[in-house]
Structure 1
Amino acid sequence: MNIIFFSTKQYDKEFFTQANQHHNHQLNFLDVPLNHHTAVLAKAGDAVCVFVNDVVDESVLKIFAKYDVRLVALRCAGYNNVDLKAAAAVGIKVVRVPAYSPYAVAEHTLALILTLNRKTHRAYNRVKEGNFALNGLIGFDLHGRTVGLIGLGRIGLVTARILKGFGCSVLGYDIAEVKEAQELGVETTELDNLLQISDIISLHCPLTPQTHHLINEDTIAKMKDGVMLINTSRGAIIDTKAVIKGLKSEKISYLGLDVYEEEGDLFFEDLSNKVIKDDVFMRLLSFNNVLITGHQAFLTVDAMQSIARITLQNLTDFEAGKKLENEVLP
Structure 2
Amino acid sequence: MKTLFFSYQDYERPVFAEALSQIDSQSSQQFSWQEAHLTPATAALADGYDAVCAFVNDDLSKEVLEILAEKGVKLVALRCAGFNNVDIPAAEKLGITVVRVPAYSPEAVAEHAITMIMALNRKIHKSWSRVREGNFHLHGLLGFNLYGRVAGLIGLGRIGLALARILQGFGVTVVGYDPGMSDNQIQPFNITPVSLKEIYKTSDIISLHCPLTMHTYHMINDCSISMMQPGVMLINTSRGALIDTPAVIKGLKSGQVGYLGIDVYEQEGDLFFQDLSEEVIQDDVFQRLLTFPNVLVTGHQGFFTREALQAIAGITINNIIEFEQTDQCKNSVDSSCLR
Matched, 1:7 2:7: yes
Q: Offset at 1:323?
A: 4.0
Q: Offset at 1:184?
A: 1.6
Deviations 1:135-170 (A, max 9, x none): 111100000000000000110000001000110000
- Aligned match of 1:177: 181
RMSD: 0.9
- Aligned match of 1:111: 115
1:278 is aligned with what amino acid? D
Q: Offset at 1:12?
A: 1.3
Which range moved further: 270-279 or 319-328? 319-328
- Aligned match of 2:305: 300
- Aligned match of 2:246: 241
Q: 1:30 aligns with which of 12, 29, 34?
A: 34
- Aligned match of 2:93: 89
Q: Secondary structure at the match of 1:299?
A: coil
Where do 1:232-271 residues align within 5 Å? 232-271=237-276
- Aligned match of 1:68: 72
Q: d(CA) in 2 for partners of 1:312 and 1:175?
A: 32
Q: Secondary structure at the match of 1:255?
A: strand
Where do 1:265-280 residues align within 5 Å? 265-280=270-285
Q: d(CA) in 2 for partners of 1:118 and 1:60?
A: 45
Q: Secondary structure at the match of 1:148?
A: strand
Where do 1:129-144 residues align within 5 Å? 129-144=133-148
Q: Offset at 1:181?
A: 2.9
Q: 1:198 aligns with which of 203, 221, 232?
A: 203
1:6 is aligned with what amino acid? F
Which range moved further: 16-25 or 247-256? 16-25
- Aligned match of 1:282: 287
- Aligned match of 1:49: 53
1:153 is aligned with what amino acid? G
Q: What stretches of structure 1 of length at least 5 have no aligned partner?
A: none
Aligned length: 330
Q: d(CA) in 2 for partners of 1:223 and 1:323?
A: 45
Q: Secondary structure at the match of 2:207?
A: strand
Q: d(CA) in 2 for partners of 1:247 and 1:194?
A: 19
Where do 1:163-174 residues align within 5 Å? 163-174=167-178
The TM-score normalised by the length of structure 1 is 0.99
- Aligned match of 1:222: 227
1:282 is aligned with what amino acid? Q
Q: 1:122 aligns with which of 104, 111, 126?
A: 126
Q: d(CA) in 2 for partners of 1:172 and 1:222?
A: 16
Indicate the percent of aligned positions where both proteins have the same amino acid: 56
Q: Offset at 1:183?
A: 1.1
Q: Offset at 1:322?
A: 5.8
Deviations 1:168-198 (A, max 9, x none): 0001001122555311210010000110000
Are the equivalent residues in 2 in contact too, given 1:157–1:181 (CA < 8 A)? Answer: no
Deviations 1:75-133 (A, max 9, x none): 00000000000000010000000000000000000000000000111111111111111
Q: d(CA) in 1 for partners of 2:65 and 2:284?
A: 32
Q: Hey, which bits of structure 1, 4+ residues long, moved more than 4 A?
A: none
Matched, 1:101 2:105: yes
